[in-house]
Amino acid sequence: MKGRNYIKGQNAAERLLRQEVGFGCPICRTPFLTYHHFDPPWRERKHFDPDGVIALCRKHHDMAEGGHYTKRYLRDLKSASYSVSDIKEYFPWVRNQFIVRVGGLYSVGSRTVIRVDGEPVIQIATGEDGLVSVSFELRSSDGNIVARMTNNVFEAGPIVPFDLLTKTTATQIKVWHEARNIGVDVSLRQIDAEKLEVTLNTDREQQNEKMAAVRSQMQETLRHLPRDIAERIKEEYASATTPQSPAATSRRVSAFRERFGAAELPDHLLRAHFSGDPVGHRVKTWSVANNCTDPDGLISFLNFDNLSLHGTNKHVRIRDGIRDGIGDVDYNAAIDCDTAFDL
């Protein structure tokens, strides 16, 4: 029988193999899949011919490698029919606190991360024991559920998705109802302060690029002001948009206090403002103060890297962490509020 080598690339072949078994192990229905090469075995020929490969969970993959299943049995598994509604899996994502990133938007301490047209889409719940869990829903454009997570328990269906991929490390879920349209790609990582800084810097720089037109308009306005005033405004703008060292931030806070006295502004807000990066400053400060950082210095970071969903009147889309179609301000943070972003 001629193999399906016309499929271009390993990624496309793996997606076909996931679709073939209804996105779950054909024996136990867990979505944590690996790929067992049985005809011929990988040791005999390194190939990705879908006719000789089957998607299995790690446990049953190892059993197949151990010779527990015949080629005929594996082919029978490949030709059977499966329901995506059988897939239900717990993701051990419980942590003390998360930093949630959704396309340059950072949510920390919020119960509802995103609400679209009045309906909650991503929610964070804190139990009586102080542990935190994640819930979200992915619906088709006509309102039917494609997949959902409820307090870290993931369920697929009843609608069959275009693709569903979960890492065997239980750190990522990627599910798409349509190939480039409705879907979600979310991962939970433990990152250090340096990696958080890199991510914040990337989002801030992307926002600065989007603000190029605003800067151009400001330059035109400054042309009509006296030179000394215009230069002073430029300096203030540059210092307000360039990250400052902790020492420089402290000096500016002290100068503000000397000039205005005991204004009704707490130091943490002043420090955020004078840091040159108020969003990043608040996110980093909150992560330290609210137990996002574990004893090893790692931060729980829940990242919605790709997201595409429809509300009644709008389409929310994020591609590779870059937001599109949900407003003009991309780099922002919502701290300790009931709903972080109401779109």
Position 274 scores a pLDDT of 74
Percent of the chain with pLDDT over 70: 84
Range of the domain at 204: 97-117+156-343
70 & 219 share domain = no
Q: Which amino acid is at 327?
A: G
Structural domain includes residue 130: no
Going by C-alpha positions, the residue among 159, 129, 126, 127 that lies closest to residue 142 is 159
251 & 333 share domain = yes
Structural domain includes residue 2: no
Domain count along the chain: 2
Rounded alpha-carbon distances, angstroms, from residue 163 to 22, 53, 81, 138, 193: 9, 18, 16, 13, 33
180 & 77 share domain = no
What's the pLDDT band for 1 if we cut at 50, 70, 90?
Answer: very low
Structural domain includes residue 91: no
293 & 193 share domain = yes
Rounded alpha-carbon distances, angstroms, from residue 25 to 19, 66, 78, 169, 293: 11, 17, 11, 15, 35
104 & 35 share domain = no
Structural domain includes residue 72: yes
Structural domain includes residue 142: no
pLDDT tens across 116-141, in order?
888 888 898 887 777 888 999 888 87
226 & 321 share domain = yes
Position 195 scores a pLDDT of 92
The alpha carbon of residue 45 and the mean position of all alpha carbons in its chain are separated, in whole angstroms, by: 37
Going by C-alpha positions, the residue among 167, 165, 162 that lies closest to residue 146 is 162
Going by C-alpha positions, the residue among 107, 117, 114, 118 that lies closest to residue 135 is 114
**Where does residue 84 fall: left (phi above 0), alpha (psi -120 to 50 degrees), or beta otherwise?**
alpha
Going by C-alpha positions, the residue among 260, 282, 294, 321 that lies closest to residue 191 is 294
55 & 107 share domain = no
> What average pLDDT score do residues 29-35 get?
96
113 & 23 share domain = no
**H or E element, residue 209:** helix 193-210
58 & 103 share domain = no
**Token pair belonging to 52:** 């000789």
17 & 109 share domain = no
112 & 49 share domain = no
What's the pLDDT band for 322 if we cut at 50, 70, 90?
Answer: low
pLDDT tens across 249-298, in order?
777 778 777 777 766 677 767 777 777 788 888 888 888 777 677 778 88
**Token pair belonging to 27:** 């024996």
Structural domain includes residue 169: yes
Structural domain includes residue 149: no
Domain C-terminal end among 28, 57, 82: 82
What's the pLDDT band for 3 if we cut at 50, 70, 90?
Answer: very low
Domain C-terminal end among 34, 58, 82: 82
Task: Give dist(CA 33, CA 165) in Å, integer.
Answer: 8
22 & 165 share domain = no
Structural domain includes residue 140: no
